[in-house]
Amino acid sequence: MTENPQNGPIQSDGFPDAGRIVDAFGGVRPMAARLGIAATTIQGWKSRGNIPAARRPEVRDAAQAAGIDLSDLAMPDAAPTATPAGDDAGSSATAAATTTVPAPQSARNIAWLALAVAAMAGIAVASQPL
């Protein structure tokens, strides 16, 4: 997945970020109703920012039936303008485009889970009779 500064993440195959698609459908529940699947499934896609490849044709069909153009969601709002070489504005634009992205929430959750498992293992070892 790559980051499109104007529109958010775009999948490597050009499929827009799940959050943008859910918003285009009018929210989690309206999208779930159109697809005939659980709202929790749609919420999961939105929180991960990704719709599984196996479900994408179904989402494309539902979007087309609803009059939603998914290609509009994947396209930048405006083409970036080129700056002349050596221009200070160009170097700051490059610096802004290469900012780091914070770790996703799931990575932090995994770290906490690993810490909890290690603590429980330590307690289990310490409480064993000698």
CATH code where residue 17 lies: 1.10.260.40
CB-based contacts of 29: which residues, under 8 Å, 6+ apart?
39
What local confidence, expressed as pLDDT, does residue 105 receive?
Answer: 64
Beta bridge partners of 2: 10
Q: The tokens of 67 are what?
A: 């009059």
What pLDDT digit, counting tens, does each position of 7-31 carry?
A: 444 445 567 888 889 999 999 999 9
pTM score of the predicted model: 0.49
**What does the alpha-carbon distance between residue 107 and residue 119 come to, in Å, rounded to a whole number?**
19
What local confidence, expressed as pLDDT, does residue 106 receive?
Answer: 67
With respect to residue 87, please indicate whether it lies within any of the assigned structural domains: no
What pLDDT digit, counting tens, does each position of 68-88 carry?
A: 888 877 654 434 444 444 444
Alpha carbon 31 to its chain centroid, in Å, reads 17
Based on the structure, what is the number of domains in the chain? 1
Give the percent of the chain with pLDDT over 70.
Answer: 62
**What does the alpha-carbon distance between residue 110 and residue 104 come to, in Å, rounded to a whole number?**
10
